Copies of this chain bind each other. A is one copy, B any other.
Amino acid sequence: MTNTQPVIIRAAMLAIGDELLSGRTKDKNIGHMADRLYEAGIDLTEVRIVADDQPSIVKAVKELSQNYDYLFTSGGIGPTHDDITADAVSAAFDLPCMNDEKAMTLLAAHYKARDTEFTPSRQRMARMPQGAQHIDNPVSVAPGFIIGNVYVMAGVPSVFQAMVENILPTLRTGSRYHSRTIFCPFGEGVIGIPLREVQDAHPDTVIGSYPKFEEGKFSTELVVRARDEEKLDAAAAAIEKMLTDIQQ
């Protein structure tokens, strides 16, 4: 491990929806995606939230899909007028947005089995950029889709999560981070300078310092991350030693 270059795969996420920006809905998908990508060895590097506004979505999709290995989106693929993600992603790729034949067949069969009309609204859920691949939806049938390096998924958390599980095994993954959390009974003001020295001495690790303020008292959680476990062990040992030195 120590002598090979780590493989780094960088991803972005775009959460789409007026309701996230008005406060009506508190997003649950970003944190979930962050967890699952971290576990998989993909570095979530940037997240954006934009409204149900075509120019905003197009701009974000273009920038993020160009700057990262993967872009994952949530929201805006339902059957109503405010669901414009398929149109916006198509526009970002200069592709026509059309009723996908396979999705139309799938949805028609689904509604027929339920003796429910396959209304023009419901047909909107078959829209995707020409040439897109499906992301299966085991919860409510209407698929997400993949075009280029952009993975378009639903906003409803149960559906989003199911779609994420479907795509994860298909993604290129990198060297994953290992991490260790060390409780520090001091506030950040006590440890700031020695902790920087530990960080500087262990450049292939990332040391995060997270203050807590409870019952009028500061403490800190120190989180060490590294793609190489030996380097992680060394940095963690240096932090433990630093804490012992302070206590003495």
Contact = CB atoms under 8 A, between A and B. Distances in A.
Nearest to A122: B189
A23 B34 contact: yes
A122 to B, nearest CB: 4
State the number of copies, please: 2
Secondary structure class of chain A's binding surface, majority of residues = mixed
Interface of A: 17-27, 30-32, 34-38, 43-52, 56, 78-83, 116, 119-122, 124-125, 139-140, 156, 158-159, 177, 179, 188-193, 195-196, 199, 206-213, 218, 223, 225
Nearest to A60: B46
A136 B201 CA distance: 35
Contact of A223 (B19, B38, B140, B195): B19
Contacts of A36: 23
A30 B17 CA distance: 14
Contacts of A156: 211-213
A39 to B, nearest CB: 8
A208 B23 CA distance: 13
A24 B207 CA distance: 13
Contacts of A50: 45-46
Contacts of A158: 213
